[in-house]
Structure 1
Amino acid sequence: MSSTPSVPGPSLSEPLVGDRLGRAPRVALLAGGLSHERDVSMRSGRRVAEALRSAGVEVSVHDVDADLLPALADLQPDLVWPVLHGASGEDGSVRDIVQLSGLRLLGTGPRASRVAWSKPIAKTVAARAGLETPEFVTLPQTLFRELGASAVLRMIVARLGLPVVVKPSRGGSALGVSLVREADDLPRAMVECFSYSDTALVERAVTGTELAASVVDLGEGPVALPPVEIVADGPYDYDARYNPGRVEYFAPARLRPEQVEAVGAAAVTAHRSLGLMGLSRTDLILDEDGVVHFLEVNVAPGMTETSLFPQAAEAAGYNLGTLYRSLVAASLAAEPAGLRPV
């Protein structure tokens, strides 16, 4: 299984598979929404729209509000691309509405999105597919309080040891995520986590090289792009991710060929086993023994100027406009799925 594309992709002057409309495809980008990641989604949407327009695609950008459904009904786009991060954008709900409207959707459908959105479920599916993933427990906030926080936290430390990573069971952009090295810091980490989700996932921390492996499917099956290595000056938190200067990225990652192959294979396995479509980004740790550990997967990866998916695409030799247009073309060529309006 190849972990990188064999060719950078077609030039803008070449016809693309799926360009059967006889005109420029009309794409409605969904960006914004009401999640904690609204600002990131707006930035991602602008970047994708600019790239698509440079590739000759007709693009309109829409927020998720009361004007959305009338706008889509009036526009009747050939394709809807949700560039939405966080709840509703990645939990399948907006994707359900798109399909209920009888419109084509670029990317993963609603059912698989719901599975991927839940980190505990995604980790369980990935483990059943043969991937390594750090041992973890999940704690709903209500149960945490009812059983007694102190007793539960002592049991977590006894089971998982330290350090551990505390994160919301659903969510992205590292919001509510803490690396806990001392037991006394665990209560604060839990409180911060519960401010973003009613359920916390606590997993054993794995040391090693932090990597992001993106996957694209242009109609011939999922292929991994070169992995991106993340070297953060301090925690790789929300501020570090979206404000240049705190993180050094290596695209492609500084890995040996067999490590690149293993990381790419893990990302493709996650993409396939979770039933994802179009594009995805998987977060991984490569430990000192060469074992790849699955952390989580994103069905709507960030597309900002500091995001990992665009860096991986450019490391593979893609022009972003060409790649995004190819994703549009592949979605138009695929057999339509979902419900049709009555």
Structure 2
Amino acid sequence: MPLRSVAVVLQEPVALFEYGVLAEVFGLDRTDEGVPAFDYRVCSEEDRPLDARNGTTVSAAHGLDATLDADLVAIPASNAAWNPSPAVVEALQAAHARGAWIMSVCSGVFSLGAAGILDGRSCTTHWRHAAELAALYPKAHVDPDVLYVRDGNVISSAGTAAGIDAALHLVRTELGAQVAATISRRMVVPPHRDGGQRQYVERPVPSCEAESLGPLLQWMVANLDQAFTVDDLARRATMSPRTFARRFVAETGTTPHQWVTDQRVLRARQLLEETDLSVEEVARDAGFGSAALLRHHFSRCTGISPTAFRTQHRVSA
């Protein structure tokens, strides 16, 4: 269903960061920049301020009845997520039954499990909780090493910032790449991190005197039509190829080749949505070189061909 209304279900204690992710993506008015306004509802079973256990309380303006017609029902992390109330379970089940989007951030996924929504589905959560999630809900297919998973109309994300990636993925899916890019630019976060990128778990970052690769990544995005090799990028970053490859995975969660491919697919999506360029021209502009190579990578990443994507997502140029 189209994404116009968003209901965020809070449970006590409220995890402020995970709740804040949803508020930042869906709860701010960005209509002045062309982002459609969301009917944003903060919901709770309790008719009182909810404790965040850090000196902060959060008041929800709506009861759970506000989830009844919401296009997206999202549930952020909470220590209560492991044992949600019957009313929260019922609200999630009702939303799922009518085909609404369901999204969890971090440990919020345990409430989805309690509602039976994870049965037979792929999902994820913070790496620290993945084994417990799999043990509690053996019918779920838990992937402990990704940022987020979409299975049908259910999206689950890993810890903290992975919720941003999952929320922007949903915005991109429903409202297009340009809207997602506008929101991410305001949030000063990357416009696209693929869900299959690895979580930042207990893997030590290699010792390196260089600064963040951020400037290099920005240069790469601005020059996607060029051919990149690890050796060339390592020289630009003033590192050895081996050190560069390790550092790249540590900072982005994926390899240079996969990162560039993902960014090129994202660029192709934007061009297909917003321009009248032919598929061959899109392929050259995005750095794939040929329409055949574009079709291969685009279909692998999105599940559909560039032509089918343009038909489904075309907006006025």
Q: Same fold, TM exceeding 0.5?
A: no
Greater fraction of residues in strand: 1
More helix by proportion, 1 or 2? Answer: 2
If the TM-score is normalised by the length of the shorter chain, which range does it land in?
Answer: 0.3 to 0.5
Structure showing greater relative contact order (alpha-carbon pairs closer than 8 Å, 6 or more residues apart): 1
Q: TM-score, normalised by structure 2?
A: 0.33
